[in-house]
């Protein structure tokens, strides 16, 4: 039981890296980027092939996963910005092509990493800590470093322009910023993080699988939604940018904890995607419904007066 939860927490943190990527597109640019399902698997596949077939250093393999994810994001970005394909469709196109590309990269649908070195095993061997503990610590360090870097980046001139793009494109263009460029950067950066997450997850679970990214975007959205709820439950509402990034990763951890609990309760693992979709759908419905109720109540009051 305890082990299951410990595993869920470390899994949640590693997937939290992906959630940070999804946060950039979904919350800052208001794009639900479906590339994510493909680029997460791409990160995993690239990492696995480099480790198993080419004996590359596990850290370098993670860099390669990141780079591969960035390329995937740039393709979606180019389809969307240069050719005006709607963002959702551009993401789907890249995602579908990545399925074939990932199979080509791996040459088969699954690569186990049982005999190869990985970052978690290396550190575990060096420190004598349990691998599950190492996995959690590495996740925390990586996530913290990424949150700090993202906080810095989105405070820079380019980063501010990027945040403004999600807010008001007309204004951004009027201020001399090419919104195609900012969107391209955002999608590239976002999928770079997703690719990195794919590599980390692959090394942590010790295999890469063609289907490892399926539904990743929903996990990402669910984690963001849970994180927002957590943020609102916290006194002070956590509105600052850095705390919103932290709550996105926290949301990911909570998501995997919920998952571990319902699995312990005997739910079929395959039903988890349904549960995730319901969580996201509910989270999207609730504000709309409460707003409608508020308006109806306001009318009723007006009628009484």
Partner 1 sequence: MLTLSNIRKVFNPGTVNEKVALDGLNLHLAPGDFVTVIGGNGAGKSTMLNSIAGVFPIDAGTVTLDGNDVTRLSEPARAKYLGRVFQDPMRGTAADMQIDENLALAARRGERRGLAWGITREEREQYREALSTLGLGLESRLSDKVGLLSGGQRQALTLLMATLKKPDLLLLDEHTAALDPKTAAKVLQLTDEIVNEHQLTTLMVTHNMHDAIRMGNRLIMMSDGRIIYDVSGEEKARLHRADLMAKFEEAAGEELANDRMLLG
Rounded to a whole number of angstroms, the minimum distance from the CB of residue 183 to partner 1 is 13
Element (H, E) at 293: helix 272-304
- At residue 54's C-alpha, the angle toward residues 49 and 57, to 5°, is 95
Rounded to a whole number of angstroms, the minimum distance from the CB of residue 161 to partner 1 is 6
Contact (CB, 8 A) for 40 and 206: no
Contacts with partner 1 by CB under 8 A lie at 153, 155-161, 163-164, 166-168, 170-179
The smaller minimum CB distance to partner 1, of residues 128 and 176, is found at: 176
Exposure string (b/e) for 134-148, b if CB count within 10 Å is 16 or more?
bbbbbbbebbeebbe
The smaller minimum CB distance to partner 1, of residues 173 and 292, is found at: 173
Contact (CB, 8 A) for 118 and 206: yes
The smaller minimum CB distance to partner 1, of residues 166 and 213, is found at: 166
Rounded to a whole number of angstroms, the minimum distance from the CB of residue 175 to partner 1 is 5
The smaller minimum CB distance to partner 1, of residues 112 and 155, is found at: 155
Rounded to a whole number of angstroms, the minimum distance from the CB of residue 152 to partner 1 is 9
Nearest CA to 34 out of 105, 109, 103, 85 is that of 85
The smaller minimum CB distance to partner 1, of residues 116 and 179, is found at: 179
The tokens for 43 are 């990160």
The tokens for 137 are 């610590």
The smaller minimum CB distance to partner 1, of residues 173 and 297, is found at: 173
Rounded to a whole number of angstroms, the minimum distance from the CB of residue 208 to partner 1 is 34
The smaller minimum CB distance to partner 1, of residues 174 and 288, is found at: 174
Rounded to a whole number of angstroms, the minimum distance from the CB of residue 178 to partner 1 is 5
Rounded to a whole number of angstroms, the minimum distance from the CB of residue 28 to partner 1 is 9
Exposure string (b/e) for 214-229, b if CB count within 10 Å is 16 or more?
bbbbbbbbbbbbbbbe
The smaller minimum CB distance to partner 1, of residues 158 and 278, is found at: 158
Q: How many CA atoms lie within 13 A of 136 on its CB side?
A: 13
CA 278, 281, 287, 293 torsion-angle sign = negative
CA 84, 85, 86, 87 torsion-angle sign = negative
Rounded to a whole number of angstroms, the minimum distance from the CB of residue 86 to partner 1 is 20
Contact (CB, 8 A) for 22 and 33: yes
Q: Identify the residue whose tokens are 């949640």.
A: 12
Question: Residue 207's beta-bridge partner residues?
Answer: 112
């Amino acid at each position: 039981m305890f082990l299951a939860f410990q595993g869920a927490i470390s899994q949640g943190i590693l997937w939290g890296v992906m959630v940070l990527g999804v946060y950039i597109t979904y919350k800052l640019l208001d794009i639900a980027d479906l590339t994510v399902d493909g680029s997460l698997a791409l990160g995993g596949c690239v990492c696995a092939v480099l480790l198993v077939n080419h004996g590359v250093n596990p850290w370098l393999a993670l860099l390669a996963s990141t780079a591969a994810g960035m390329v995937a994001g740039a393709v979606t970005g180019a389809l969307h910005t240069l050719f005006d394909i709607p963002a959702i469709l551009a993401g789907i196109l890249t995602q579908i092509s990545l399925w074939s590309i990932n199979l080509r990269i791996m040459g088969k649908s699954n690569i186990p990493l049982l005999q190869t070195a990985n970052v978690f095993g290396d550190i575990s061997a060096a420190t004598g800590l349990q691998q599950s503990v190492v996995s959690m610590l590495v996740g925390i360090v990586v996530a913290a470093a990424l949150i700090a870097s993202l906080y810095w980046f989105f405070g820079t001139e380019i980063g501010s322009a990027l945040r403004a793009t999600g807010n008001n494109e007309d204004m951004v263009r009027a201020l001399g910023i090419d919104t195609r460029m900012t969107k391209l950067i955002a999608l590239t950066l976002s999928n770079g993080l997703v690719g990195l997450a794919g590599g980390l997850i692959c090394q942590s679970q010790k295999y890469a699988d063609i289907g490892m990214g399926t539904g990743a975007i929903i996990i990402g959205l669910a984690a963001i939604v849970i994180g927002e709820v957590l943020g609102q439950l916290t006194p002070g509402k956590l509105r600052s940018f850095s705390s919103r990034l932290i709550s996105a990763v926290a949301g990911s951890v909570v998501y995997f904890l919920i998952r571990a609990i319902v699995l312990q309760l005997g739910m079929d693992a395959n039903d988890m995607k349904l549960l995730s979709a319901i969580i996201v759908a509910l989270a999207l419905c609730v504000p709309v419904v409460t707003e409608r109720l508020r308006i109806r109540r306001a009318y009723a009051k007006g009628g009484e007066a």
